[in-house]
């Protein structure tokens, strides 16, 4: 591995460790709460682009779905499979206490909205820990990606967890870099199924 590759790997690791390292998540206190933000396209003159690293809610380009990964069970997954239907990517890490607290909410929401494809995106740990988290928190009702190299996280501008990417039927994506309450998640899902 060359010096540049090692340097890039170190920078990626540092960026990823800025998140849920303890009992409280890293939250941008000056940013608005997810429930009070607008959806992609609702701001006149806005243009899709890269996800700002310091924004808890960001619209992203539809080409963010042009990725492939592997599930925790070793199956191939194509992000393009989400195009044309509502979907949710939930970004989590096995040791994250906030993710543990949010797991029941996500599992309940996935069961309550069968028309929405839920995909967990796990990173920042090893495969056995990821599988154990899914089993312990009863999350087997939907697929989870093994994103150990954080490639999918990087694609969506995720630097800490939990976070979400809400995929509309038209392929547009809204990233929410924060935890969501039951009510906030239900509101986002209702919005997805209306569009």
pLDDT digits (tens, 9 = 90+) for 31-59: 223 332 333 333 222 223 343 444 444 44
Rounded distance, CA 54 to CA 104, Å? 27
Burial of residue 118 (number of CB atoms within 10 Å: 0-12, 13-18, 19+)? buried
pLDDT digits (tens, 9 = 90+) for 54-76: 444 444 555 789 999 999 999 99
Check residue 171 and give its pLDDT: 83
CATH entry, 55-194, from 3.40.30.10, 2.20.25.90, 3.40.50.850, 3.10.530.10: 3.40.30.10
């Amino acid at each position: 591995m060359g010096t540049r590759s090692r340097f890039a790997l170190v920078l990626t690791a540092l960026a990823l460790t800025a998140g849920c390292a303890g009992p409280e998540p890293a939250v941008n206190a000056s940013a608005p709460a997810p429930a009070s933000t607008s959806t992609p396209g609702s701001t006149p003159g806005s243009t899709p682009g890269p996800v700002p690293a310091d924004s808890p809610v960001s619209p992203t380009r539809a080409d963010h779905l042009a990725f492939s990964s592997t599930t925790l069970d070793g199956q191939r997954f194509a992000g393009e499979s989400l195009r044309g239907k509502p979907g949710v990517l939930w970004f989590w890490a096995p040791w994250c206490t906030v993710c543990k607290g949010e797991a029941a909410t996500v599992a309940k929401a996935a069961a309550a909205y069968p028309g929405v494809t839920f995909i967990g995106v796990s990173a920042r740990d090893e495969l056995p820990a990821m599988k154990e988290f899914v089993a312990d928190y009863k999350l087997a009702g939907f697929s989870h990606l093994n994103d150990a190299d954080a490639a999918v996280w990087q694609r969506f501008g995720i630097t800490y967890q939990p976070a979400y990417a809400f995929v509309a039927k038209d392929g547009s994506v809204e990233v929410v870099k924060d935890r969501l309450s039951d009510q906030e998640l239900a509101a986002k899902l209702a919005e997805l199924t209306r569009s």
